[in-house]
Amino acid sequence: MKRKLAAGNWKMNGSRAALAEFDAMQPGVTDSVEMVICPPATLVATAVEKAGALGIGGQTCHVKASGAHTGDISAAMLKDAGASYVITGHSERRTDHGESNADVAAQSTAAWEAGLVAIICVGETLEERESGATLNVIAEQLAGSIPDAATAANTVVAYEPVWAIGTGKVPTLEQIAEVHDDMRAKLSDRFGTEIADGMRLLYGGSVKAGNAAEIFAVPNVDGALVGGASLKAADFLPIAETLGAA
């Protein structure tokens, strides 16, 4: 049985004081549900100390383990700080930092080499959705962003429509099902059924306690990548509990 995953992406939010939220998140972690918080890099080491049953992850990593790359953080450094996960290819990184599929693949390989699980993100823009290109865009991102050495243990895939992130807009359940079914099929074609079935596929984009139950009931949705609603235990815990009940 694969454990479901509620992953929180704090983005450029949070402070040491905010880590106090972790205490009230603890009950969400069960035999069937894993919870991970990805705070800003400055907080990773302290977050690990306060994590309890939560897993801690970074939000991106450099492709190299060390070197002359001012301002960057390597996967090895995240690992050294106690992280077990790292998000790669979030749309805000793709947009703000021009990261390509090839960059995301190299980061994911770096993550694995450091012993981290990569949460590899894909998602279409509104323009791509409206022009009917969604499945092609996702297929291209999956092909380009996930390296050949992916396994169910080292990789989580997050489908995050760019237009649903932080907007309060959510695709229809049929749209989520269509993409998740297609992702599972594409992963199966490439990696075989055993790896593809074991790989957790998260939905992300405006997930809240109020819409979590219907999203988690969609086939091939194994959890969520949550932004805004992961900052407070009062919002994130009900999402994890809903996942446990799904």
The binding site for ligand PGA (CB under 6 A) comprises 9, 160, 165-166, 204-207, 225-229
Active-site residue flag, 90: yes
Least separation in angstroms between residue 66's CB and ligand PGA is 28
| Least distance CB 44 / ligand PGA (angstroms) | 17
With a CB cutoff of 8 Å and minimum separation 6, the contacts of 205 are 123, 160, 161, 163, 164, 165, 167, 169, 170, 171
Tokens of 124: 């279409």
Which residue is catalytic, options 34, 90, 128, 180? 90
Residue of this chain nearest to ligand PGA (CB atom): 227
Tokens, residue 173: 């359940």
Closer to ligand PGA by Cβ: residue 76 or 89: 89
Phi-psi region for residue 153, left (φ > 0), alpha (ψ -120 to 50) or beta?
alpha
Residue with smaller CB distance to ligand PGA, 116 or 215: 215
Residues 6+ apart with CB under 8 A from 47: 19, 22, 37, 39, 56
Known active-site residue 62: no
Nearest CA to 202 among 20, 10, 33?
33
Name the residue nearer to ligand PGA (CB basis): 108 or 206.
206
Residue 224 or 246 having the CB closest to ligand PGA: 224
Radius of gyration (Cα) for the chain, nearest Å?
16
Question: What is the smallest separation between the CB atom of 87 and ligand PGA, expressed in angstroms?
Answer: 8
Whether 142 and 187 have beta carbons less than 8 Å apart is answered as yes
Catalytic residue among 21, 124, 128, 160: 160
User: How near is the Cβ of 227 to ligand PGA at its closest, in Å?
Assistant: 2
Catalytic positions: 90, 160
